[in-house]
Structure 1
Amino acid sequence: MKVYILLALIAAALTLILTALVRWCCLRWGILPPLRNRDVQSVPIPRLGGVAMTLALLLTMLLASKIPYMTPLFATTVPWALMGGAAAMCILGVVDDLIELDWVAKLSAQVLIAGLMGLGGVQLVSFPIFGLTIGSSRLSLVLTIVVIVGIINAVNFIDGLDGLAAGIVAIGAGSFFIYSYILTRIMGAPSYATTASMTVVILMGVCVGFLWYNFHPSSIMMGGGAETLGLLLGGAGIVVTGQIDPALLGDGQVFVGLLPIILPISVILIPIGDLVVTSIRRMLKGRSPFHADRSHFHDRLLARGRGHREVVAILWLWTAIIALPAAALLVFSVYKVAAVALPVLAITVFLTFYEFPFLRGRRRKNLQEVPAHDKS
């Protein structure tokens, strides 16, 4: 555990330093993209924060490869495939930030990167329950690509407010680390060092470090870095499925075996819902579902009078209320987790609806329309 904490701190520190350097370079050389209609910032700010995040992640992983406790992990191709995928996705993000690729070219590049990662060993070859295996290597590769590309775009989808994507991924990665680390102990592994745990704890450190600059008011955006975060989150979920021996979990903990799939989904549950609703709304208006606008959930909250930080805090809270109980199921029974999670969920629901000014306004209007003798 001490090594993991050290890696998270190193990742955060490197991100702090490198983000400041990247921001200075952008300002010094005028690499400031023009404002778009969907942007919430009032003035142009650097959008290459993903470069600093990726560099910090890669440097931390390279450092981990020199630590005796972690060195055996790098004898396989998996961590190198994750690093190569992160570097390639970062390059794609920079190109997209500078010249704005069309969605077909961007999606094709994402599929290629995910496919190369799959060939490098980051591949979904079994389901984490009942010991099921995917019978075809081609099907395994296709499923891997679908999962990774889906998570990449879901995380990228929420990168619309200062600190939103970084905070959500930090919460999800932290939950995933707790799950992966405890799972390793339950499995009775000779070493608690795993590629999945190492990846997500470094990812968490990178996100926390970046929030220093990215929390509202942001001085730099991550740009294409959101796609790198999604790639690593999805990759870690696939890698951790190989750690699970269903026989050791017991019949009463079959659900726990699904957590490598549930946790990444829990992190992107809100953006997936936003993606579906927003896409349907765009198509009903005769637009492409990929048409960029300000019709996302967080955009509508802002338009209805909520503060930037309030909206971000609400979405962070929803991520935590979904992801943390999922990880807790590995240690505690469903009943104990529910006893704590349900009251918190009720409070979160209340706070969310309380933060919708239009609902409060509608309620006041309805009360005003009710005759005086009916208001009692």
Structure 2
Amino acid sequence: MPYLYSFVLSFVLMYLSMFLGIRLGLLDKPKGMLKPHEKPIPFTGGLGIILSFIFTAFLFNRELFIYVLPLSILWAIGFIDDLRETPPRLRLLAELIIGFGFSIFFGNSVITSLFLAFVFAAIINAFNMIDGMDGLCGGISLIVAIALSLIPDLAYFSWLIPIISAFLIFNIAPARMFLGDGGSYLLGGFFGIAFIQAFHSGFTVSVLGILWLPLLDLTLGFMRRILNGKSPFEGDRDHFYDKLKKLYIKNTRAIMITSMALASIYAFPSLFVSWWFLLVYLLAVSVIQVIVLKSLKIT
């Protein structure tokens, strides 16, 4: 029953965040290839998610409060970037500092924390990168949250399920509200924290597998841009979901559902197989994905 209350509360807060975005002019306006939506859409989904998380922590699970400060900072960084684009290196530095600090908080050494800080930043940017289509980042995040909640030390992720579900009501095509960078940074931060905790408790490879789809897209995107002589932080339209668009044309819901299914193919087997088999499985499925989608290159 508390999860139902959390969903209802989150739905109300999402609606208020959307209304606030419209009233204050916090709108993502159409702009070329990277923003092909037809009309301005409020980018205040991240605000709804962080408010929902804070109220859920206060009303239902006080143990969640330890995550509120770093996640609020990540949301603020992304929200500022939504308002006024900030240098990628500055955002990356902030992500590294937060990841390092959280790792130290969990008792890791300085060397280990430096490594985990880079993984933390990579996860945030991976989820920011898949936020390119209605319902996509939210849908994949829902799959990830469900899978993570099945790991004993990460059971608190079950509280993200009603929150993300409430957001998706407003974000499934045609979207009435976007995550914004604030929202994608926030979701990436949740899952970056999960990786740090998993590293501390011995579920590292399982969490890596659960997060594999966005991390694979990030890696391929960076390699593609570097090979083409572009900045790895520069946006493009050659992600896995862009290639799926060639199959489904403008059926964004079909692309979202297919992407969620693809995320599930990586995520749920990661819970049940040994680490060495999982690594072989991830590599094999990744190769199949790349080969199948290569014929759908659109840029």
TM over 0.5: yes
List per-residue Cα deviations over 1:217-254 (Å, max 9, x = no partner): 110011121111111122123324555xxxxxxxxxxx
Equivalent in 2, 9, 12 of residue 7 of structure 2: 12
Aligned residue identity for 1:297: F
Where structure 2 has 5 or more consecutive residues not aligned to the other structure, the ranges are none
By how many angstroms is 1:147 displaced? 2.4
For residues 127 and 207 of structure 2, what CA distance do their matches in structure 1 show? 10
By how many angstroms is 1:210 displaced? 0.7
| Contact 2:248/2:254 (<8 A) preserved | no
Change in CA separation of 1:272 and 1:286 when aligned onto 2, cut-off 3 Å: same
Where structure 1 has 5 or more consecutive residues not aligned to the other structure, the ranges are 1-5, 67-73, 126-136, 181-193, 244-256, 335-340, 360-376
1:42 maps to which residue? 38
TM-score in terms of structure 1 length: 0.68
1:32 correspondence with 2:27: yes
What value does the CA root-mean-square deviation take over the aligned residues?
Answer: 2.8
1:236 correspondence with 2:194: yes
List per-residue Cα deviations over 1:313-363 (Å, max 9, x = no partner): 111101112211222349xxx8xxxxxx9xxx8xxx89x96x99969xxxx
1:314 maps to which residue? 258
Equivalent in 113, 118, 127 of residue 146 of structure 1: 118
Number of residue pairs aligned between Structure 1 and Structure 2: 283
Equivalent in 56, 61, 67 of residue 57 of structure 2: 61
Partner SS for 1:262: helix
| Contact 1:304/1:357 (<8 A) preserved | no
For residues 213 and 10 of structure 1, what CA distance do their matches in structure 2 show? 18
By how many angstroms is 1:13 displaced? 2.1
Aligned residue identity for 1:60: T
List per-residue Cα deviations over 1:287-315 (Å, max 9, x = no partner): 21211122222123325653212221111
1:265 maps to which residue? 208
Taking the TM superposition and a 5 Å limit, the aligned residue runs for 1:242-321 are 242-243=200-201, 257=202, 260-303=203-246, 305-306=248-249, 307-321=251-265
Identical counterparts, % of pairs: 26
By how many angstroms is 1:266 displaced? 2.5
For residues 291 and 357 of structure 1, what CA distance do their matches in structure 2 show? 23
| Contact 2:126/2:218 (<8 A) preserved | yes
Change in CA separation of 1:293 and 1:219 when aligned onto 2, cut-off 3 Å: same
Higher Cα Rg: structure 1 or 2? Answer: 1
List per-residue Cα deviations over 1:234-277 (Å, max 9, x = no partner): 2123324555xxxxxxxxxxxxx5xx223432343222222233
TM-score in terms of structure 2 length: 0.84
Aligned residue identity for 2:151: Y
Aligned residue identity for 2:50: T
| Contact 1:12/1:210 (<8 A) preserved | no
Aligned residue identity for 1:42: E
By how many angstroms is 1:85 displaced? 0.8
By how many angstroms is 1:53 displaced? 0.3
Taking the TM superposition and a 5 Å limit, the aligned residue runs for 1:9-158 are 9-37=4-32, 38-65=34-61, 74=63, 79-119=64-104, 121-123=105-107, 125=108, 137-158=109-130
